[in-house]
Amino acid sequence: MAKALRFREDGTFKIVQFTDPEFSAESEEERAMEAMMLSILEAERPDLVVYTGDVIASAGHPDPAGAFRRACSVPERAQIPWTAVFGNHDSEGAITREQLHALQLTYPLNYAKPDPQGVHGSGNYVLSVKGRDGRDSAALYFLDSGSYSPLEYSRMGFYDWIRRDQIDWYARQSYRLTDGNGGVPLPALAFFHIPLPEYNDVWDFSVCYGERHDICCAPWINSGLFAAMIEMGDVMGTFVGHDHGNDYWGDWRGIRLCYGRTTRNAYLDRPFMPGARIISLREGERSFDTWIRLADGAVLADQPLHQPTGRLPGQR
């Protein structure tokens, strides 16, 4: 029987987002991180765990597959369904994204799917969440945002972007799910590693909640995923990592653009405790709640308010 995610009897579905844990060498620091992750899972008891990239730090690692297996073991030990997309650090060493994706698919509680043919990257798939009536009630999109720009030396930036064929694939899946729901788009979320350029826009021109201590390392090319999500009308929120010192979210054109909370070191010169972002969906509603749980057990339900610093065209 195919694996299926389902809303609970109370109509909720909870996700824990871990981002940028960068599993590497076994160490006291890494064991402490694993213990923190398990404590968050015990406290929240989610229905799904999502790794949003940089699951491992593979550069120069003698056994990147072993590091990835340690990451896989965390939700497996907690007996919680899980899935992962990949970031720039995952495939810098002696392992490919394709190999990592194939490896995650071998785990009994992993819910990722094999890659669709002819679509750029590895780790592009969609999961539906069944309602209490057994029908698809929500959708979760997972996309490979790549690693480094193939056009770096032609002044097109440092980080990669989600490609046109991936956006076309997303649109096809969205059409399919909408058609199966009587022409009404399913409430949906999207998960990937590298933020979209619109993450800069929402911080500059909209009210946000949370902290920004890193620059937003979005690609310099806007390939149009955000526009496609607006057109399809299904995605309510996106969730990324990549920039360890950022955990803000804000509403941009009706879509909530959210950072996770780094699960490992934020590499800042000030305290910034690691943790996880929690997301709670409600069956039949086009909305979700989100909060942060920190390593010390504290819950950040209300993040700091940030007023926009820029002006949109035409504003005075």
CATH number at residue 240: 3.60.21.10
Q: What average pLDDT does range 227-240 have in this prediction?
A: 98
Strands of 12-18's sheet in order across = 82-85, 48-52, 12-18, 275-282, 288-294, 299-300
316 in a structural domain: no
Query: Are the CB atoms for 130 and 4 separated by under 8 Å?
Result: yes
92 in a structural domain: yes
Helix axes 97-104, 64-78, angle to 10 degrees: 30
Query: Are the CB atoms for 54 and 144 separated by under 8 Å?
Result: no
Q: Structurally, how many domains does the chain consist of? A: 1
Instruction: Check whether 266 has a pLDDT greater than 80.
Output: yes
Question: Rounded to an integer, what distance in angstroms lies between the CA atom of residue 191 and that of residue 185?
Answer: 18
312 in a structural domain: no
109 in a structural domain: yes
314 in a structural domain: no
pLDDT at res. 151: 76
What mean pLDDT, rounded, does the chain reach? Answer: 94
What are the structure tokens assigned to 141, written together? 């999109």
Instruction: Check whether 313 has a pLDDT greater than 70.
Output: no
Instruction: Check whether 259 has a pLDDT greater than 70.
Output: yes
Q: What average pLDDT does range 287-312 have in this prediction?
A: 93
**Residue 250: band (very low, low, confident or very high) from pLDDT cuts 50, 70, 90:** very high
pLDDT at res. 128: 98
Question: Rounded to an integer, what distance in angstroms lies between the CA atom of residue 132 and that of residue 139?
Answer: 15
315 in a structural domain: no
Q: What average pLDDT does range 23-38 have in this prediction?
A: 95
Separation of first and last alpha carbons in the chain: 59
Q: Residue 313 burial by CB count (10 A; 0-12/13-18/19+): exposed, middle or buried?
A: exposed
pLDDT at res. 2: 67
What are the structure tokens assigned to 248, written together? 């803000």
pLDDT at res. 203: 96
The count of C-alpha atoms lying within 13 angstroms of the C-alpha of 134, restricted to the half-sphere facing its C-beta, is 0
**Residue 152: band (very low, low, confident or very high) from pLDDT cuts 50, 70, 90:** low
pLDDT at res. 158: 82
Question: Rounded to an integer, what distance in angstroms lies between the CA atom of residue 293 and that of residue 297?
Answer: 6
pLDDT tens for 160-189 read 999 999 999 999 999 999 999 999 999 999
129 in a structural domain: yes
pLDDT at res. 157: 59
Q: What average pLDDT does range 90-97 have in this prediction?
A: 93
Provide the domain limits for residue 161.
Answer: 7-306
pLDDT at res. 315: 54
- Residues in a beta bridge with 292: 277, 300
193: Cβ contacts below 8 Å, ≥ 6 apart: 19, 52, 53, 54, 85, 86, 87, 88, 145, 240, 241, 242
Q: What average pLDDT does range 71-90 have in this prediction?
A: 97
pLDDT at res. 284: 93
For 257, the enclosing helix (H) or strand (E) is strand 255-259
